Amino acid sequence: MLRGGSRDKLGKALANWFHANDIPGRKADCPYFRSAIKLAQECGQGVHIPSGKELDGKFLDMNYEDMEAHMAKFKDDWKEYDVIVMCDSWTGPTMMCIINFMVYCNERMFFHKSINATGRVQNAEFIYDCIREVVVDEIGVKNVIQIVTDNGSNYKKACWQLITRYLHITWQPCAAHTINLMLKDISCFSEVSEVVDDAKRICTFFYNHNRLHAMMREKIGGELIRWNATRFGTVFIFLQSFWDRQDKFMQWMVCDDWKNNAWKDEADHAFTYDCLLNRRWWSDMELVLNAVTPIYTVLRYMLINKKMQL
Each residue's pLDDT tens digit, 154-163: 999 999 999 9
Backbone phi, then psi, for 84, in 5-degree steps? Answer: -110, 125
Is pLDDT above 90 for 214? yes
Share of the chain above pLDDT 70, in %: 95
For residue 229, the model assigns a pLDDT of 58
- Written as one string, the DSSP assignment of 209-251 is SHHHHHHHHHHHTSPPPPP-SS-THHHHHHHHHHHTTHHHHHH
Identify which of 284, 217, 293 has the alpha carbon closest to the alpha carbon of residue 257: 217
Single pTM value for the model: 0.68
* Contact status, residue 136 vs residue 113, Cβ threshold 8 Å: no
What CATH fold (topology level) applies to the domain 82-173?
A: Nucleotidyltransferase; domain 5 (3.30.420)
Question: Would you call 207 exposed, middle or buried from its count of C-beta atoms within 10 A (0-12, 13-18, 19+)?
Answer: middle
Is pLDDT above 70 for 171? yes
Is pLDDT above 90 for 101? yes
Is pLDDT above 90 for 210? yes
More confident site: 176 or 98: 98
- Extents of the domains making up the chain: 6-71, 82-173, 183-304
For residue 303, the model assigns a pLDDT of 65
Is pLDDT above 70 for 78? yes
